[in-house]
Structure formats: structure tokens, C-alpha cells
Amino acid sequence: MSLILSAEQEQFRASVRRFLEDTSPETEVRRLMDSADGYDKDVWRAMAGRLGLQGLAIPEEFGGSGFTFVELAIVLEELGRALTCVPYFSSVVLAATLLLASGDEAAKRQYLPGIADGSLLATVALAESSDRWDERGVTLAATASGAGWRLSGEKRYVLDGHIADVVFVAARTPAGVSLFGVDRGAAGLSTELMSTMDKTRKQARVRFSDTPARLVGADGEGWPVVSRTLDVAAVGLAAEQAGGAARVLEMSVDYAKVRVQFGRVIGSYQAIKHKCADMLLEVESARSAAYHGAAAVAGASAELPVVASLAKAYCSEAFTHAASENIHIHGGVGFTWEHPAHLYFKRARTSHALFGGPTYHRELLARRLGI
């Protein structure tokens, strides 16, 4: 699959960007990051109704549009560029991917149409107190109870877990890691917003106390599904990071063209030129890595596990470096609360750690390559 977008895909990007410029300006981002829910329901409905973004890569048989992950990556890149506050990553990237990979036809038909039309908010609960993103990190207990199951334990860093209508949980049974669906309001389920650096993406602590749950997929066969979901999520996050990095580069260049110091615009100084040139190289490389990952997902490539770790490691560092340099180029004003530079820096730092940092993914990449 070509890494060069078609004219139709570029037109689609332009439509998404115009929509986000209208609905997610900086003032709206700041308002929503301080709200309890963390998103605007009218904007969420418009994303589904006007643009069909939630169902973009969901197969038509489950209420979606049947496009590929490449189109989804375009949306994620634009969402990262605008820091849009919506539960898109949790529902569309994590939950939908997990359901599609689960092989559970009943669960797909029950949940995917709602995710596709935006009426159902879903998320996936994976990490626990060990902060691990591998199979050994799943220790939350699931026990059989009559015809169903019960969960007991705690999950952390659950994206939009406080507003999700259904939480898909990785838990451990005697047979191994398994997947379960828990509906909002279930007995013994409680959620608590976590205090995080990046307030534009809400994360929750989710607790289960003998909570009833339904099995998704086969008992003991959940880890391959989780592993696939994490690889797709790493690629999706890389696309989002590439979008954020591109935006801070734009901010830096625009400021360097107008800020005058010692009688010259600062963009004429070699040190600033070098910073911007280095950022441009990293931004373009990050975009290439993210698109390569998106093509691997879309083409069901066997290289996905390798490409996913490569993209996540590189894009995490590229976005973090670009966001930091953006603050430096802006000087004193870049450190103020009123300037948006800190919003991108905080998103970069939390995305850096989400689903494992660069060091973790380089180690994972080495193991996957057999090094």
C-alpha cells in the first residue's frame, strides 16, 4: 500500500480539519479539559452524523463505513493536531479494534453498531498497579459464577473510563488471560478520575468488586486479542503524535517569523533555524513512521508488531522533542499558562508513556526481531 495519500484522502483530511477548526479551537479545548465529562456531546454527535468518523473503519455489516485504518489515521492525526477533547481513541481505536479481533460475533453485533453511530461510549481496561503493558501485567481476577463471571481488582489509566457505557477488561482466569465486558452501572463497579498531567485526555481508575461481567471471545484466549489491540493502538497513537508534532512546528515557525529581538526576527538567527530544521526532519519522519504503521494495519501485514513498536518509539520522542523546542523558541511567553505550548507539551509527555514508552517498545521490537 502506498504511503502517499490519494486526492480523495487529502480532501477528507481537509474536511476533518475544517470541522475541528470550527468545533475545537483552543478556547473550547481549555473549557473541556476542566469539565467533568471531558467532551462536548453535540460535537460528538456531529462527528458521527455529519462526518461518520466513529464508524469510519468499522465494517459495513456492523454499521460502519468499511474504510481502512489509513483513513482512521488521518482522523487521529488531525485530532492530535487540534488536541480535540473527545472519547474517540477509547471507543473507536481501542474498543472497536478489540471487538473486531475477538472473534465473538455476538459481541460485535451487540456493541459495534453503537460505537459506529456514536451512541455507545466504550473503552478498554488493561494496565494495573504494576504499570506493565505485557501479559504478565494482567493479574485482575475473574471467577466463574453460575453461567457468568465475576471480576475483582483494579485497573488504571483507563481512557474515558469514567464516562464509558461499557468497559472491556483484560482479566485472568485459571485458563489464562480472558476478555470481559462490564456495563456501566454494574454492581461493584466504581470509577475515579486520575490526576494526570494532560487534562485534555481523561484517564480513570476503575475498580471491580465481585462485579458481574460477560465473557468476550474464548476463555483463556484473550492475550492475542489484547496484543493485537495494543499494536493497533500504538500505531493510532503514533499518528496522533505526528499530528501534534506538526502543529507545534507550525507554531514555532510562525512565531520565529514575527518575533523581533535585537532588531532582527529571531528566525534569522542560526540557532533558531537549526531548531526548526531538526523539528521538520523529525516531524516528517514521524509522519512516515505513522503512515507505514497505518498501512500495515490496513493491509493486515505480518510486520505490524514490528512496525507498531517502531512507530510508537519514534513518534513519542519526536513529539516530545518538538513540543519542548516549541517552548524554547517562544521564550518566556512559551512558559505561561495563557499560551497553548504547554498543552501540547503535556499531551506529548503523557502520550510518551501511554502503552509503554520508547525504551519499552525498543526492547519489544528487539524481541520481535529475535535480536
User: What pTM did the predictor assign?
Assistant: 0.96
Residue 34 β-bridge partners: none
Do 262 and 282 share a domain, yes or no?
yes
In this prediction, residue 224 carries a pLDDT of: 97
22 is a domain residue: yes
Do 364 and 231 share a domain, yes or no?
yes
Do 110 and 129 share a domain, yes or no?
no
- Using the predicted structure, report yes or no on whether residue 294 has a pLDDT greater than 80: yes
Quote the domain boundaries for residue 151: 122-221
pLDDT band at 3 (very low <50, low <70, confident <90, very high): low
259 is a domain residue: yes
- Using the predicted structure, report yes or no on whether residue 293 has a pLDDT greater than 70: yes
Percentage of the chain modeled with pLDDT above 90: 95
* CATH number of the structural domain spanning residue 291: 1.20.140.10
- Using the predicted structure, report yes or no on whether residue 1 has a pLDDT greater than 60: no
Choose among 281, 286, 307: nearest CA to 352.
286
Percentage of the chain modeled with pLDDT above 70: 99
Phi then psi dihedrals of residue 289, to 5 deg: -65, -40
Angle at 111 between CA 67 and CA 140, to 5 degrees: 115
Do 140 and 99 share a domain, yes or no?
no
Choose among 260, 238, 245, 202: nearest CA to 341.
245
Do 317 and 233 share a domain, yes or no?
yes
21 is a domain residue: yes
* CATH number of the structural domain spanning residue 77: 1.10.540.10
Domain-terminating residue out of 64, 87, 117: 117
In this prediction, residue 146 carries a pLDDT of: 84
In this prediction, residue 2 carries a pLDDT of: 56
Do 357 and 249 share a domain, yes or no?
yes
What ranges in 91-211 are assigned the alpha helix state H?
96-102, 105-117
319 is a domain residue: yes
Bridge pairing between strands 203-216 and 189-193: antiparallel
Angle at 265 between CA 263 and CA 271, to 5 degrees: 110
Do 213 and 248 share a domain, yes or no?
no
Do 209 and 228 share a domain, yes or no?
no
Amino acid type, 206? V
312-331 tens-digit pLDDT:
999 999 999 999 999 999 99
In this prediction, residue 135 carries a pLDDT of: 95
Do 143 and 101 share a domain, yes or no?
no
Do 352 and 265 share a domain, yes or no?
yes
80-119 tens-digit pLDDT:
999 999 999 999 999 999 999 999 999 999 999 999 999 9
Mean pLDDT value across residues 1-28: 91
220-240 tens-digit pLDDT:
999 999 999 999 999 999 999
The number of distinct structural domains making up the chain is 3
1 is a domain residue: no
2 is a domain residue: no
Domain-terminating residue out of 221, 256, 286: 221
* CATH number of the structural domain spanning residue 156: 2.40.110.10
Do 285 and 339 share a domain, yes or no?
yes
pLDDT band at 4 (very low <50, low <70, confident <90, very high): confident
- Using the predicted structure, report yes or no on whether residue 212 has a pLDDT greater than 70: yes
Q: Mean pLDDT across the chain, nearest whole number? A: 96
Domain-terminating residue out of 117, 152, 180: 117
Do 143 and 215 share a domain, yes or no?
yes
Q: Tell me how crowded residue 49 is: count the other CB atoms within 10 A of its CB.
A: 12
32 is a domain residue: yes
Q: How far apart are CA 286 and CA 303, in angstroms?
A: 18
